[in-house]
Structure 1
């Protein structure tokens, strides 16, 4: 079973694709919009990724969701299942290939800090970035269960990294080595 798209080398066009998507979808959120961030692997220079632009949309609250869903549908996004309370998900596919994902979280939701911190760690740590890339390529090569399997098998690595960083930040010490 295939992933939603194939992992490819970093593409310097991804930041521009994010900015275009950000501009397009901002109007769907009106006055509830706080910020739109580029997250996920396409937000990390030099990191191979599925060429799917991840947007993290921070909102003050979820208001008028039916109108928002209509505007997002008009932009080619389908609403997926809520990933948790206060964390909505939209996806955009073109010709059966995923191109964009939008995570919509209420200010203060734990996923906002988690996504931004993980992105920033990958941007600032070339060893960690390479280990993550190697894992992703291995998971893609050995995948038989599709995107669910891929995400589930990446999760322990991400959890370990984020746990290490959380502990280090809490006690103001250097992060322990991973692995």
Structure 2
């Protein structure tokens, strides 16, 4: 359930925009300044992080932290206008069969559309965001199939990410290539 000021057309998928990496870099800089050493890494994730992939015009940022139980995490983000999303699915997600905590923030009204996902570094959900991004960047077949699926999905009904059926291919690719999640500050 979006905030009242968020557009009802949130499911519109557009062609890849070369401005998305720059939009991410700006958001990452703001988040790094606000969170300082509370953030282990700031990653561009989601479809806008994959060159050539159609996506919703909403930049997804993953901020990896040591612990979501850290009481100093939320105040710096709310101080710069980010709003903690209240929906239960924005506080816990299932990745690789594990229930993983997360916090998701929306921007202040009128700001660049984005979702800021705070996840604990090393947890399956943080790994998944990086794995799926890197898999789609590396596999043109998977990228094209995923983009076509997203465009069809946007025309029909919303679905759960678990129903997308792409993780088997991403995990196979990771095993074949020796892929590992990047560590430290990242702005890509």
TM-score scaled to structure 1, two decimals?
0.77
Give the equivalent residue in structure 2 for 1:9.
15
- Corresponding residue pairs, total: 162
Q: Deviations over 1:58-84 (max 9, x none)?
A: 11223553x532322233321124124
Unaligned runs of 5+ in 2: 1-7, 94-99, 179-188
Give the equivalent residue in structure 2 for 1:161.
169
Residue 35 of structure 1 pairs with residue 41 of structure 2: yes
Q: Contact 2:135 / 2:174 at 8 angstroms: preserved in 1?
A: no
Q: Contact 1:92 / 1:99 at 8 angstroms: preserved in 2?
A: yes
Give the equivalent residue in structure 1 for 2:118.
104
Equivalent position SS for 1:28: helix
Q: Contact 2:40 / 2:65 at 8 angstroms: preserved in 1?
A: yes
Q: Contact 1:90 / 1:102 at 8 angstroms: preserved in 2?
A: yes
Q: Offset at 1:98? A: 7.6
Unaligned runs of 5+ in 1: 144-148, 171-179
Write the distance in 2 (CA, Å) between the matches of 1:77 and 1:158: 31
Q: Offset at 1:161? A: 2.8
Q: Offset at 1:5? A: 4.5
Larger radius of gyration: 1
Give the equivalent residue in structure 1 for 2:186.
none
Q: Contact 2:13 / 2:56 at 8 angstroms: preserved in 1?
A: yes
Write the distance in 2 (CA, Å) between the matches of 1:87 and 1:105: 5
Q: Contact 2:38 / 2:73 at 8 angstroms: preserved in 1?
A: no
Write the distance in 2 (CA, Å) between the matches of 1:162 and 1:155: 14
CA RMSD across the alignment: 2.7
1:89 to 95, 98, 104: 104
Q: Which has the higher helix share?
A: 1
Equivalent position SS for 2:56: coil
Give the equivalent residue in structure 2 for 1:70.
75
Write the distance in 1 (CA, Å) between the matches of 2:151 and 2:16: 13
Q: Offset at 1:34? A: 0.9
Give the equivalent residue in structure 1 for 2:3.
none
TM-score scaled to structure 2, two decimals?
0.74
Write the distance in 1 (CA, Å) between the matches of 2:136 and 2:171: 15
Give the equivalent residue in structure 2 for 1:125.
139
Q: Offset at 1:124? A: 1.0
